[in-house]
Structure 1
């Protein structure tokens, strides 16, 4: 069954990425002049430098992989890859200043900058800021892309040597995708064409497989496969959703009928995909479809690995797997990713290939945006001045060094002007300020990984909260956030909530249309498993 969402594709993208009237929630950093270091000899060969296959999924939370042993999702190829490389159990994104979390997350990944240093919506990467593929291209790599590019067309054009099936947007019907062909001159002004034949996962997997099967250049390649799944709409071939039976799942332990207070982004499209109050039946059914989409991706990753093996490329290819953000799917009464809970911030991260640790796990906390400088360190390429995130290469470079390495001592997180958080030791502090209404949450994420027990009201934790609050303020200021947490409004510009934007007179019709489509998608997912709406 296909969900007829294509006609609203561009409306959805424009709505989620629509201007809020502010550049950021108080960024204090400006871009540096573009200066991309080059190797002494940029004419690289695949013999001297590894190929790179970077696989990025959309909305796949950290626990939704088989090797994590947290959820009943089937991912045999990723499980095998984790045994041939190193997995990071505490990889995070830093948050977002937009309800379309994917866009700023991908901008941070592509620039090696923090959430306060990219454009508020993430859709624009300033020409003065180098992108990861741009640096690799400038250093002798052939850079190839297929799939979702949730940023601007100009930054894409300067980043890639070739591409197939380019999707400039946030989401679409999985079977009706507005696509562009690669243009050598970087001209993407014409309207896209529609591919009505294949599921997006198959479309992009087939594109990179074709690239790998036919690649014959002497220079190494960087192939970036950016899936738009398991992001909704949860359309998936029947052979995959038939692998799962929702009634066989355990209850979601931290499911709530609704979020206990206004977190500043409850009226957003993501939260409409299942009705309130949340129920175990609905959560399990949506989880089954979500898992099916992930298993579909995993099967196609296996096909990519088989091609690398057949062409004797596997041993000289660095493979990186991750996702742009997580997803709640009923946890804490939420469905989306517009929060600072673990299910929304944490993502899977795998690195396998030449000179990488084998069958190991790193528990140190890292950001996805650390991958830009880390990859350059692996390749012995200097990072451009625009990169501000640290390299996690020390975590990959020998066990003795790893034991004493801390990349982010007190990592911070932010969502729009309404949520800020910090992790220290085993605890996470989340502070909310929604139009002057403040809430505080304190979780011991080691003993309470599902964040069910808020400790903030307990006198025994008063000193801890005070110290973490002060540290949060200091780290936010250092990162470029103008927020002053002890003031009534945090002294930062108000960012309109998504629902408020959409209920303005010029958008109210679209607001109701999207709400109707969300209900139709819920009906579609329930129909997979013979459930009544």
Structure 2
């Protein structure tokens, strides 16, 4: 099928749970611009990240490789330079992919000299991207703008995310929890607004040359604090309560890994002036944290509305293929957890919306899809070949309203690796070697099986226990189910070994491809 050369807009909004969109029926969250995008395109309701945290998940998103193949499995684990990626492949078609934000790609140190500053950070830029604006954890470009506007900037990093003094806002209520107070900057001066403006400015000079723009927002990633008026947009009494066991002790009893994790996650990782463990937060605190998280979603949505309106006003919208997704989810107090660690659904179920102006739109799709599918899909819709390395499959047929192929996947798999060279807070208490610090969460229609390299497995019946509260792995009655899941996981793992050269064979006549 011949396709015109379209604009590509790849959007990621960091740490966005798959169930927190108006388009999927969330009872509170308001995301009208994203909902309109979903209505015009295709919404994938059961889309999953292949890894957490950010670095390994984005490696899968941008290379089409499962994490057990690209092996960039932690923030800071180098990504092998031999792998191609979406930016390098798009360049072959004449695009200049431009990044606004970050890719958190750790470079291959074998290609760098000792002492190179790029070895000091996991926040590298994926090869192939031209940098429009690079935003790391230091946020220097945005903070410099705030400083020029007269803000008292305390220094690089997240220190700017201080709550405004109570006297500045008479509506502040100390009973609302530690994440209710607004940020000291306005919504028009937020990083989300600023980055959107930078992207719009860049596109205003694009002319008729088709663009490839990767817009990577930090929000709704912590610190959990929102500017006015978003901070008060949602009533904590109206938000869904967290899903958790009857007590913290009961939660910890589910698995040794979960016990150690619950004793390691600290409040200060999620908001300024946090003190103590995340498990010390009251339910009221968690409800307000959820309300603040939803506020950050709505802030991103509003800024996407500005970007989409600009594209329409410039006559660019009808030639722009939009992909909207994230790297991973957020627990939001479910199972007494914050963040994206572990094996629960909240960490891995994420949004994916694809809108192709050349497709009628596929409505809402309920089959399993994964982050590794995004790169093959974009290349397929551009008429470009899909590299042999890709583990994912094109979702193009769904965009055209087609049914799932008979051989479509019936499970998804996500990896979490908890080794850490600097802070082995999970590895050390469990007494594990580095290569034993991996879990793989295998999620089928009914069953979810979690396999650890050196710890006991877990098994959940998602029909009877959708919130993953009862581990059946030690119940003899479910031993056959656990064994069958483990066998399917092993077969999947064997089928999806890294395959760049595996299906090529040398011999008489040269290079042949195995069918």
Alignment partner, residue 79 of structure 2: 125
CA contact (8 A) 1:148 1:166 kept: yes
Q: Secondary structure at the match of 1:430?
A: strand
Q: Which residue of 2 aligns with 1:110?
A: 62
Selected match of 1:226 from 216, 221, 224:
216
Unaligned runs of 5+ in 2: 108-117, 119-123, 147-155, 161-184, 271-276, 418-436, 499-515
Aligned residues: 413
Q: Does 1:316 align with 2:319?
A: yes
Q: 1:207 aligns with which of 198, 203, 222?
A: 198
Tell me the distance in 2 between the aligned counterparts of 1:304 and 1:388: 32
Residues 68, 253 of structure 1: alpha-carbon distance in 2 compared, 3 angstrom cutoff: same
The Cα of 1:157 is off from its aligned counterpart by 6.9
3-state SS in 2 of match to 1:364: strand
Between the aligned partners of 1:341 and 1:474, the Cα distance in structure 2 is 23
**What do residues 14-48 of structure 1 show as CA deviations (whole Å, max 9, x unaligned)?**
xxxxxxxxxxxxxxxxxxxxxxxxxx9xxxxxx92
C-alpha root-mean-square deviation of aligned residues, in Å? 3.2
2:12 to 52, 56, 73: 56
Task: Say if 1:117 and 1:54 are closer, same or farther in 2 by CA, change over 3 A.
Answer: same
Q: Tell me whether 1:379 sits opposite 2:382 in the alignment.
A: yes
Aligned partner (choices 474, 495, 503) of residue 491 of structure 2: 474
User: Hey, what's the Cα distance between the residues in 2 that align with 1:288 and 1:462?
Assistant: 41
**Residue 289 in structure 1 maps to residue 258 in structure 2:** no
Asked if 1 retains the 8 angstrom alpha-carbon contact of 2:104 and 2:125, the reply is no
Alignment of 1:157-196 (within 5 A): 158-161=127-130, 163-169=131-137, 176=143
1:241 aligns with 2:205: no
How much does 1:286 deviate? 0.7
CA distance in 1, matches of 2:157, 2:344: 38
1: distance between equivalents of 2:205 and 2:476? 65
Q: Quick one: structure 1 residues 418 and 362, their matched pair in 2 at CA, closer, same or farther if it must change by over 3 Å?
A: same
Query: In 2, distance between residues paired with 1:276 and 1:268?
Result: 10
Q: Check whether the contact 1:65–1:71 (CA below 8 A) recurs between aligned residues.
A: no
Deviation (angstroms), 1:177: 7.9
| Displacement of 1:235 | 2.7
SS in 2 for 1:135: helix
| Aligned pair partner of 1:82 in 38, 42, 63 | 38
Which string of whole-angstrom CA distances, capped at 9 and with x for unpartnered residues, describes residues 472-498 of structure 1? Answer: 2332344449xxxxxxxxxxxxxxxxx
Residue of structure 1 equivalent to 2:412: 411
User: Where does residue 360 of structure 1 map in the other structure?
Assistant: 363
- Could you list the runs of 5+ residues in structure 1 that have no partner in the other structure? 1-39, 41-46, 180-191, 482-533
Q: How far off is 1:117 after superposition?
A: 1.8
Deviation at 1:361, TM superposition (A): 0.7
Is contact 1:326–1:344 with CA below 8 Å preserved after alignment? yes
Secondary structure of the residue aligned to 1:387 is: coil
Closer, same or farther: CA 94–276 of 1 in aligned 2, 3 Å:
same
- Equivalent position of 1:22 in the other structure: none
Corresponding position of 1:146: 100
Q: Is 2:458 aligned against 1:440? A: yes
SS of residue matched to 2:278 = coil
The SS at the match of 1:245 is coil
| Of 298-307 and 330-339, the range deviating more from structure 2 | 330-339
After superposition, give the CA deviation of every residue in 1:145-172 in whole Å (9 maximum; x if it has no partner): 11123114787374124x3320245x76
Structure 1 residues 406 and 325 mapped into 2: Cα distance closer, same or farther (>3 Å)?
farther
Query: Counterpart of 1:363 in 2: which secondary structure?
Result: strand
Change (3 A) 1:319 1:289: same
Deviation at 1:405, TM superposition (A): 4.1
Q: 1:91 aligns with which of 14, 32, 47?
A: 47
Q: Aligned-pair distance for 1:458? A: 5.1
The 3 A distance-change label for structure 1 pair 407 and 278 is farther
Shift in Å at residue 251 of structure 1? 2.3
Number of the residue aligned with 1:28: none
TM-score (norm 1): 0.70
Q: Is the Cα–Cα contact under 8 Å of residues 270 and 336 in structure 1 kept in the other structure?
A: no
Q: Describe the shift of the 1:449–1:204 C-alpha distance in structure 2 as closer, same or farther (beyond 3 A).
A: farther
Distance 1:295 1:255, change over 3 A: farther
Q: Would the aligned equivalents of 1:146 and 1:226 in 2 still touch at CA under 8 Å?
A: yes
1:55/1:321 contact within 8 Å kept: yes
Aligned-pair distance for 1:357?
4.1
- Pick from 441, 458, 476 the counterpart of residue 421 of structure 1: 441
Distance 1:203 1:344 in 2: 28
- Distance in structure 2 (CA, Å) of the matches to 1:174 and 1:427: 46
Compute the TM-score of the two structures, normalised by the length of structure 2.
0.73
Secondary structure at the counterpart of residue 451 of structure 2: strand
Change (3 A) 1:245 1:448: same
Residues 388/206 of structure 1: CA separation in 2 closer, same or farther (3 Å cut): same
